[in-house]
Structure 1
Amino acid sequence: MSALTITHTHAAGSLIDGTSRGDGSGEILKDQRWRWSRNLQSWYVPQSRDRRAKLAHINATAAALRAAGFTVEIEIDDTYRQVADVEADKITRQEDRVDALNAKADRKASDADDAWDAERAAYAALPEGGEPIKIGHHSERRHRAAIDKAWNTLGKAVHAERDAATARGRADAAARTTDHRYAPQTVARRIDKLAAELRGLERNRDGYSRTLHTNKQTGEKYTEDHAPASGADRERALDEIEHTSEKLAYWQGVRAQQIADGTVTLYSRDVIAKGDHVFYVGQWNEVVKVNAKTVTIRSIVGGGWNDRIAYSEIRNLRDAEARPIRIADGQRVTAPVGETTTDHPAGVAR
C-alpha cells in the first residue's frame, strides 16, 4: 500500500496526497465524504478552505485508511489568513468559475445550433407533402428510417436547447454571486452576525452566568455559571476572537465605503419618526414605533400583530404626507412631493 498524507491549510483546505486510481483509497474516501476535484487532481473535504481543520473528520478518515493497510500521515496548519486575502481569492476563484461556465454555456449553445441544423436537414430529407409510407414498397424501409431520424434529431435538438439554457442560467447566476455577497443588505446582516459571534466568543473567554429559571413566587433565580476558558480552550478562544474581530473590521470598512459612495443610506432612530412610511418587501409601511435597532410597523400580511424591520432592511423613506425624505450629513431633509430620493425606483435596494 502507498503512503498517503492528509494536509490542511487555510489556503488550500483539507487535501490528501499519494492516492492513485485503483489503489482502493477512492471508495474509502467516498465513504468518509471526501470528493474528487478534477481541477485540483486530488481528493478534498468540501467547504474546508479558510476554516479550521475538521479534526474528527480527518482522524476518522486516517483510521479507515490505516485499517485498509495504508500508511497515513497528517499535517495540519490552522493559521488564519488575512481577511482581505481571503476575500480577494474568493473573488478571483469566482471570476474563474464564471469564465468556465460562460465557456461551457457557449459550447452548449453551439451544440444546440448544430442539433437544430441536423433536425432541419433530417426534416428536409422526408418525402415532400407528407407522403404516406407505401407498405410493401421498396421505399418503405428508407421512409421509416427517415421518419425515425427526423423524430430522434428533433428530440436531441430539444434536449440540447434545454442544456444550453441551463448552462447559460448557471453562468448568469455565478456572474452575480460576488455582487450579491457585497450587496448592502447582505453586508449589514453579516456585520450583525459577526458582532454577535464576537460577543459570544468574549463571553466564553471571560466566563459568564445565565439564568435558567426564575421562581415566580419567590423571585429566586436559578443560574448556570461558566468559568473563563483556560488552557488550550483559552488559546483557541483568543485566536477566534482575533480572527472574528478582523473579519468584522473588514466588513465594517466595506459598509463605510458603501455609505461614503452613496450606495447605502444610513437610517437610524435619529432620522425616522413615528408616522413616517418606510419601503420594505415591495410596499410602503407606516412606522408605529421607532426603536434602537428597528422600526415597528403593522403586520405586512395584514395580521393583528406588528412586525419589526432592521434599519439596514429599509429601502426608502417618506413622511406622513408622502413627501420623500433624503438623509444628508446624518439629518433628514424633506423633499417636495414628486421628487425622488434615489436614482432607482422606490423599493430598489440601495
Structure 2
Amino acid sequence: MINRKTLAKNPKVMLAGSVNSSLVTLKRMIKHDLNVTGVLGLRPEYAKNVSGYQNLEEISVRNGLPYVGFKNINDAEVAAFIRRDPPDLLFVVGLSQMVQQEVLNIPAYGCIGFHPTCLPKGRGRGAVAWLILGKAEGAATFFLLDEGMDSGPILVQEPFAVTKEDYASDVIVKICAAIETALDRLFPLLKKGVAKFDPQNDELATYLGRRRPEDGYIDWNRSAEDIHTLIRASARPLPGAFTYVGGTKMVIERAAILENCNWIGVPGRIVMKDSSGTVVQAGQGHVLVQEFTGVREHELSVGTSLGIDFPHQFEIITKLLRTST
C-alpha cells in the first residue's frame, strides 16, 4: 500500500550529512533549485574514522546556504539551528549516527534517511562492504526515518548492480549515480508538494551487522575467490584487507585471481613473482597481489610466508613463559 502526503509546494528542506552521498544529495538539491534553508555537516575534527568524509561547508557557503558544523546530530545546538526556521523535511544522508526523537520531531513532515541497499533487505551498518560480499542487493533508497533501523516507508528506490570485479570505490561511484537518478525522480514531485510513501514489509527484512577494521584480516586458508572478495570489500576508502610480513602489517589494495597457475605451495606463502605482481598460494587457487602498502617490494621474496605464523608465535610465547618462571 502506498500512502500519499500533500506537502506545501516547494517545501523547505535541510540536509545533514558527512560523506560522498551527502555531497551528491546537496548538489542535486541545488540543481533542482529546492528551497534549502540549512545544511548541517560533521566537523572535520570529528571525521577521523569516517570513510569517504566530505566537508559540506564550502559548497554551502558558496551557494549562500546557512551552515552549521556539528559533532553529534543530536546536540542541543543542532536542534536550535533546525528550530530557528523549521523545515518541512530534513534529509539525513550519509551519517552513521542515530537521529533521536527530539530531532525527528522538529520537521513538519519528518526526516528522510538514505540507505544503499534494496530495503527492507540489508538494513544496518557497513553496507558497501556487505554489498561486495554478496549479502545484500544495491539500491539508492530514500525513506522516512522512524525509531527503527532503516525501517521507515520508502519514497524512492533506484537499484544498481554490484559485480564480482567491483571494489569499494566502484560501489560508491554506483551509489552516487543511483542517488542522482533517484533524486531526479523525487525532487520534481517534492517541488509540487507531493510525496508518496511505500511502507516496508518487515517480514522480508534482513540486517547487516557492524564491520570493524580487524574484519579485513586475510585468512590465506580461504579460497582465492573469497580472499579476492574480501580485498575488494575492504579497499579504499575503507580500512583495507591486510596480512603480515614478519611483524609488519601489509594492506593489499588491489589483487586478482590467478587462473591456471601450475605452482603448488603452502597457503599464505609466495610461490612466484613477475612483472604483473606477487602470487600467493590460497587454500584453493592463487591470489595475484598487484597493489599494496606497508612493506617494500624487496620484502616479498619467493618463499616468504604472509599472515601470522601461529605455531611460531606459540613457540616464542612458550619460551618466554618458561624463562620467566
Q: Shorter-chain-normalised TM-score: which range?
A: under 0.3
**Larger helix share, 1 or 2:** 1
Higher RCO (CA 8 Å, separation ≥ 6 residues): 2
- Rg (Cα) greater in structure: 1
TM-score by length of 1: 0.23
